[in-house]
Chains A and B, each alone.
Chain A
Amino acid sequence: MKKRMYRFFIDYEKEERWVNDMADRGWNLKKTVVGYFVFEKGTPGQYIYRNEFINRKSKDYFEFLDEMNIECVSKFGGWAYYRKPKSEGPFEIFSDASSKINYIKSMNRIFIFVLLLNLIIGIYNLSLGLREFVVGSMNTSVGCMNLIVALLLFIPIVKNENRKKGLKQDLHIFEG
């Protein structure tokens, strides 16, 4: 039995928690494409799921995960979902503060770049749209879209910065 759902998350950690809640209720994620999720009926609490931002991750990395008995269930648009049977114990992709910080840094670098790109293009489109009232309506709507994307990216960027700050504080007293 399959269940298809649309759900949009701004925070990737919240999304991961929700996917794990579904797994605990017996719905195992099979595929996800930005906000669209396909679950398959299974035993409740069978798997632990983790997501990862995988921009520029090599084939080598996925082979490595495979060797570690980590199953990659879905890969789309820079994001991957992995799972491991719960019976094998706790499952995290990053286990210490320094590797978590590196991960967040590389994610935010891309997020900030895409945000700035959308901001610049958005403002440019809006300025074109506002200049030519009727013909420019297309520019206005595209420009608004750009600004919405920029705003939606702003939230995870700020959350990531806060996570990074917390981890860096830990590094002052703990080894990671």
Chain B
Amino acid sequence: MTQEHPPLTEGVYYILLALYEARHGYGIMQLVEEMSNGRVRLGAGTIYGAIKTLLERGWIEALDGDGRKKEYIITETGKTVVEYEILRLRELFDNGIRITRGVE
């Protein structure tokens, strides 16, 4: 496996996962907190900055809504990035388990 993309930050990884369904900022924050059992609490400024960067890269897109709350969804490019990241995480996980012989 070549290093096609550098590793994602935990925040970006979770934001991309959260956007497999259309969500607005608050929805992203809530879902990420829920998925990580309260371990990952993303700051509003951090989410805002990440959304702007991800939009520029074309990994997510904004949905045209009539409401005041803007919703975002992941793009095909974004999904490829996430799939690649999962492979990387699996490699890390498998090697960790193999060498430490698992965690009990």
A interface list, Cβ under 8 A from B: 52, 61, 63-65, 67-70, 89-90, 92-96, 98-99, 102-103, 175-176
Q: Is chain A's interface secondary structure helix, strand, loop, or mixed overall?
A: loop
Contact B46 A96 (CB under 8 A): yes
Question: Known contacts being A67-B24, A68-B29, is A93 close to B43, with CB within 8 Å?
Answer: yes
Question: Known contacts being A176-B9, A176-B10, A176-B11, is A64 close to B48, with CB within 8 Å?
Answer: yes
* Shortest CB distance A117–B (Å): 27
Q: Which residues of B contact A103 (CB under 8 A)?
A: 45
* Shortest CB distance B63–A (Å): 15
Once A and B bind, how many residue pairs between them come within 8 Å at the CB atom?
A: 58
Contact B69 A95 (CB under 8 A): no
Does B54 count as interface, using CB distance less than 8 angstroms? no
Best-surrounded residue of A89, A99, A176 (most CB of chain B within 10 A):
A99
* Shortest CB distance B30–A (Å): 10
A-B contact pairs, 19 of them (CB 8 A): A52-B45, A61-B48, A64-B25, A67-B69, A68-B29, A69-B26, A89-B38, A93-B45, A94-B46, A95-B11, A95-B43, A95-B46, A96-B9, A96-B10, A96-B11, A96-B43, A98-B9, A175-B9, A176-B9
B interface list, Cβ under 8 A from A: 7, 9-11, 24-26, 29, 38, 41-50, 68-70
CA A89 to CA B7, docked complex, whole Å: 29
Question: Known contacts being A96-B9, A176-B10, is A67 close to B46, with CB within 8 Å?
Answer: no
Contact B48 A95 (CB under 8 A): no
Contact A70 B44 (CB under 8 A): yes
Contact B46 A99 (CB under 8 A): yes
Q: Which residues of B contact A70 (CB under 8 A)?
A: 44
* Shortest CB distance B47–A (Å): 8
Q: Could you list 17 further interchain pairs (A-B, Cβ under 8 angstroms) beyond the known A94-B45, A95-B41, A95-B42?
A: A52-B45, A61-B48, A64-B25, A64-B44, A64-B48, A67-B24, A69-B26, A89-B41, A92-B41, A93-B43, A93-B45, A94-B46, A96-B9, A102-B49, A175-B9, A175-B10, A176-B9
Contact A94 B9 (CB under 8 A): no
Q: Which residues of B contact A90 (CB under 8 A)?
A: 41
Q: Which residues of B contact A92 (CB under 8 A)?
A: 41, 43
